[in-house]
Amino acid sequence: MSLPMSEPLIFAYGRAGRGARGQWPVAAAAVPEIPASLRRARPPALPEVSELDVVRHYTRLSQLNFSIDTHFYPLGSCTMKYNPRACNAAAMLPEFLGRHPLATARHSQGFLACMHELQEMLMEVTGMKGVALTPMAGAHGEFAGVAMIRAYHRARADLARNEIIVPTAAHGTNPATATMCGCVAREIGVGPDGDVDLAALRSTVGPRTAGIMLTNPSTLGIFERGIAEVARIVHEAGGLLYYDGANLNAILGKVRPGDMGFDVMHMNLHKTFSTPHGGGGPGAGAVGVAPRLLPFMPLPIVAREGEGEAARYHWLAEADRPQSIGRLTGFNGNAGVLLRAYVYMRMLGREGMSRVGEYATLNSNYLLARLQQAGFVAAYPQRRASHEFILTLKSLAQQQGVTAMDVAKRLLDYGFHAPTTYFPLLVPECLLIEPTETESKETLDAFVVAMATILGEAGSEPDTVRGAPHRMPVRRLDDVRAARELDLAYRPVSG
Amino acid sequence: MLAAIGAPDLEALFEEIPAELRVRSLAGVPEGLNEQQVMELMYARARQDGRPLNFIGAGAYEHHIPAAVWAIVARGEFYSAYTPYQAEASQGTLQTIYEYQSMITALTGLQVANASLYDGATAVAEACLMAVRANRKSSAARVLIPRTVHPNYRAVAQAATGGQGLKLEELAYLRASGQTAADALAAYEGQDVTALVIQQPNFFGVLEEVDALTDWAHARGALVIAVVNPVSLAVLKPPGSWGQRGADIVVGDGQPLGCPLSSGGPYFGFMATRMDYVRQMPGRIVGRTVDLDGRPGFTLTLQAREQHIRRGKATSNICTNQGLLMIAGTIYCAMMGAAGLERVAQACMARTAELVGALSRLPGVRSAFGTARFHEAVLLLDRPVAPLLEALAAHGIEGGFDLGHHYPELGQALLVCATEARSAADVAAYAQRLSELLKEARVA
C-alpha cells in the first residue's frame, strides 16, 4: 500500500505572468485611489500558476495523505470513524453556504431550526440542561466550561477557588485550559486498576477547589467505576465536575454525563458526531451544562418561541444572559460543522445512538482479545475495555529494542495509520487503540495480522521495524534539524 | 466476535457501568432517517432561508470561489485525514501547511506564520496573550484596542483574556474621519503599554493611519498587533512595512480567501509574527527538514510550545484548528495569485464606491466618513435602521449591518459592503428598492 512519492512546492510551477485568468473579476473601470502612504509597494510573492497547475498539484498532495476514506485509523482518543458524505452535501447546499451570519431573522429560520434541534438532541444524549454550540473545538469547549466554573464561584463570592484537579492521564488540553482560565492545575494519580485514586482525591480537594476535569471512560480506556463517589467528594468540597467529551463515543446511548453527576461538559462533534477532522480541523466543541450553570453559558445561543408551524427562532445575546462568560467566536461558531453533526444525528436517530456505543465497545473488546491472543500485552487486562484500550510494549522494548514508535511506524507500511503512541504518559511504551464502530470485523482481523507480522519481525529482523516506515513518501524525518534550522516558509520575507 | 471476547452478549460489555446510571430511553431524539429523507429535510430547511442579495460585510465577505477550490478540499484524502502527527503518512497536509505559511508571510510581510487558529476574533485574543508573553519590557499586561476594531473581536478578546488578568482598554475614534483618535493615545503618555491593536481597514471600512500608530506604539515600548483583511493586502501596505519597524504580530480572518459565508463558520484565523517571537506563537507550525535518506520532507515543529507536550505551561490550549479551511485558503491564493487578488481587491473597492454613491444620493441617506476606505462604508439614515432592514429583507435584500447596538453615538447608522460578487445591476436594484422604501411615509 505505497503512496506516490514527492511533489515540488507550488512555487516551483510559477512562471512570470502566468495566472488562472478565468478566475479574475472583470477589471474595474474606476478604482478609488489609495493614499500613497497606505498603498502596497510590491506585489506579494504568491505563485504565478495556471488553474491546471493548481488542481494537479493539490490533488497530488492529497494523495500523499492517509485518510479515513483510504485507510483504517485505530487512533485512540481521536474517534476516527467514517464521515457520511450526506452530512457534507447538506451543509454545502447553496442557501446554507451563502447565508451571512448577520442575516435578518427572515433569512435564518431554516438554519436556526437545525441548530435548535441540535441543541435539544445533544441535551438528551448527555443529560445536560442547556447546550451552547459556539466553541470551535474540544479545547475551546474546555475553555468555555472552566470559565463557567469560575464564573459560578465568582457569582457566589467564593473567590478563593482557582484549582482545577486533573488526573495525570488527562489530555494536555486540560491543564493548558486551566492555565488559560487563570487557574492552577493540580494532578492526581490513578490506582493500579486504573480508577481515580479516591484517597488522593480526598486529600487534594478543599476550599480552593474550583472543579475537577475527567473523561469517562478515562484515557486509559476503562470506565471510571467510582464516578458517583468522585462526584460526591468534589461536590461536598464545593467544587464542580467537568466532563471532557473526548470519549463520549464509548457511552453514547448507554450512560449520560449528566446522570453521572457532571455539571458541565464539552462534546467533540468531530469525534462522536462524525464531522470530518480535515487534517487537523475544523472541529466543534459544543458545551452542555447542568441547571446551576445555565446563566453563565457562552453566547450566542439559539432560542425558540412558539411551537410547531408557529415556531420562530432567534439568537440570545448579552441582554438575555447578563451573567454569560461572553462571546467566544467572531460569529456563531463553526456553523457548517454543526450542520454536519445535525445531519449525522438525524440519520442515526434514537436507536442509532446506543448502537454507536455498543458497536464501538464490541469492536474494541474484540480487537483487544485478538491482539492478546497474538501475543500483545494489555495494560489493564483485569478490566473491561471501553471503546479503546492500551497495549504496553515495555517488554518488547526491553528485549528486542523495538519501541511503540517503531511498531506504529511499521504499521504505516502495512497500510494502517499508527495508533496513538506514548499517551497516556503513565503507561510505558503504550499504544492507545480505538477501532470505532464503523469498521468491519474483516478490517480488524487484517489489522491483527499486520500487528502479529510486526511482532514476528521484531524478533527476526528488528532493524526493519526500527527503520520503518519504508513504503511511505518519506522515511522518518529529522525533527531535531527541523527545530534547530527553522525553515518555516518558502523564500522568507526579510524583516 | 462475542465468543472471541468471551462475553455472553453485548450487555456484558457494559457490566462495569453501575446499573443505576444506565440510560433508560432517549425519547428526545427523533427516529432515524435514511439519506434520502434527511436530504429532503435539509433541502426544505435551506429553501426557508432562501438566497437574498447580500450587502452585509462586517467581518464576513461574499466572494467568488473558484469551483476547483472545494472540489479539491472535499477530496477524502484532505477532508477525512487526521492531524498530521504521523508525518510520513501526512506529507500532503504538511506540505500544504508549509505552502500556506509561505503565502501568509508573503501577504503580511512578516517572517513566520502558524497553521491556523479558529477565526479572526480568537486570533486577536491569542495575539493579545502572546504580546504579553513576548513584550518582556512591559509588566502591565495592558493592551489598547481601538473601538474601530470589530466589536465581536473585542468581546472575544475580553472573554478569552480576562482569566489571565489582561487589561484591554478601548480607544475612542474621531467622529469626522472614523479613524482612531490620536488624542486617545495621548492619555497613555508615560504609561506602561504592552501592545496596541490596529485594524486595517477598520470595522467601518476606513483606512487607519497605520504608520503613525505603529511608530507611536514602538516609541513607547509597546508591540503592534495588526488585524487585517487578507484580500486587502493585495493593494494595501503589508503590516511588516507599517511605520519604521513594522507590526510585530499580524492576525485576521482568512474567510475571504475561499471560505463560503456559511452562517459564520467554519473560517480560519491566521497569525504571523517576527522570527524573534516564534516560540511565543500559539498553534501548530510546520517546518521543512530531511528524512533518514536526506530527502526533503515536512513535519510539525517547535511542538514544545503546545499543550500535548507542555501541558499547563503551553502557549495556548489550542489543539484542533481549522486545517481544512486553511487548505481552501491556500488553494484560493495559489489560484488567484498576486495579480488576481489585486483585481479582486480593486473590484471590491470600485463596487463599494458605486454603492455608496448610489445610496447616498437618496434623500435621507449620507455617508458618515469622507476618509479613504476599502470595501465597506457607514451610511447615516434619517430613520431607524432595523425596520428598514426588515423591509429590504422582505424584498430579498440583506441591506447591511445595523450599527445601533455597538455604536449608538453614530445615531441611525448602517454598515454596507459590496464585493466583486455584486454586479452593477445588484447595486442598482438595492438603490431602487431603498429609494421606494424611503418614499413610503412609514416603513413596514
Residue with cell 474483516: A442
Provide the CB-side half-sphere exposure for A224 (13 A, CA). Answer: 25
Cβ-defined contact of B265 to A282 (cutoff 8 Å): yes
Q: How is domain B338-443 classified at the architecture level of CATH?
A: Alpha-Beta Complex (3.90)
Q: In chain A, what residues touch B2 (CB-CB under 8 Å)?
A: 362
* pLDDT tens digits, A197-255: 999 999 999 999 999 999 999 999 999 999 999 999 999 999 999 999 999 999 999 99
| Structure ipTM | 0.97
Yes or no, beta carbons of B1 and A362 under 8 Å apart: yes
Chain B residues with beta carbon closer than 8 angstroms to that of A182:
162-165
Q: A1 or B352: whose pLDDT is higher? A: B352
User: What is the assigned CATH class of domain B67-332?
Assistant: alpha beta
CA dist., res. A98 & res. A94, Å (int): 6
pLDDT in tens, B239-295: 999 999 999 999 999 999 999 999 999 999 999 999 999 999 999 999 999 999 999
**Nearest Cβ partner for B118 among A100, A137, A487:** A137
- Residue A3 pLDDT > 80: no
pTM score, whole prediction: 0.97
- Encode pLDDT of B379-391 as tens digits: 999 999 999 999 9
Parse chain B into domains and list their residue ranges: 67-332, 338-443
Q: How far is A348 from chain B (nearest CA, A)?
A: 5
Can you give the pLDDT at residue A493?
44
Q: What string of H, E and C letters represents the secondary structure of chain B?
A: CHHHHCCCCHHHHHCCCCHHHECCCCCCCCCCCCHHHHHHHHHHHHHHHCCCEECCCCCCCCCCCCHHHHHHHCCHHHHCCCCCCCHHHEHHHHHHHHHHHHHHHHHHCCCEECCCECCHHHHHHHHHHHHHHHCCCCCCCEEEEECCCCHHHHHHHHHHHHHHCCEEEEECECCCCCCECHHHHHCCCCCCCCEEEEEECCCCCECCCHHHHHHHHHHCCCEEEEEECHHHHHCECCHHHCCCCCCCEEEEECCCCCCCCHHHCCCCEEEEECHHHHHHCCCCCEEEEEECCCCEEEEECCHHHCHHHHHHHCCCCCCCCCHHHHHHHHHHHHHHHHHHHHHHHHHHHHHHHHHHHHHHCCCCEEECCCCCECCEEEEEECCCHHHHHHHHHHCCEECCEECCCCCHHHCCEEEEECCCCCCHHHHHHHHHHHHHHHHCCCCC
Distance from CA of B186 to the nearest CA of A (A): 23
Chain B: closest CA distance from residue A149 (Å): 12
Find the mean pLDDT for residues B358-373.
97
The pLDDT of B187-210, averaged and rounded, is 97
Mutation target for A interface from B249, B307, B320, B330: give the one with most A CBs within 10 A. Answer: B320
Asked if omega into A135 is within 30° of 0 (cis), the reply is no
How close is the nearest chain B Cα to the Cα of A97, in Å?
Answer: 4
CA–CA distance, A398 with A331 (Å, rounded to integer): 53
C-beta separation of A13 from B335 below 8 A? no
pLDDT band at B440 (very low <50, low <70, confident <90, very high): confident
Contact A37 B237 (CB under 8 A): yes
Mutation pick from B335, B375, B389 vs chain A, by most beta carbons of A within 10 Å, is: B335
Contact B260 A478 (CB under 8 A): no
Q: How far, in Å, CA of A263 to CA of A144, rounded?
A: 13
Residue of A70, A109, A352 lying closest to B48 (CB–CB): A109
Task: Say yes or no for a CB contact (<8 Å) between B323 and A280.
Answer: yes
Indicate the average pLDDT of chain B: 96
Q: Do domains B67-332 and B338-443 have the same CATH topology?
A: no
| C-alpha triplet A205, A206, A212: angle, nearest 5° | 40
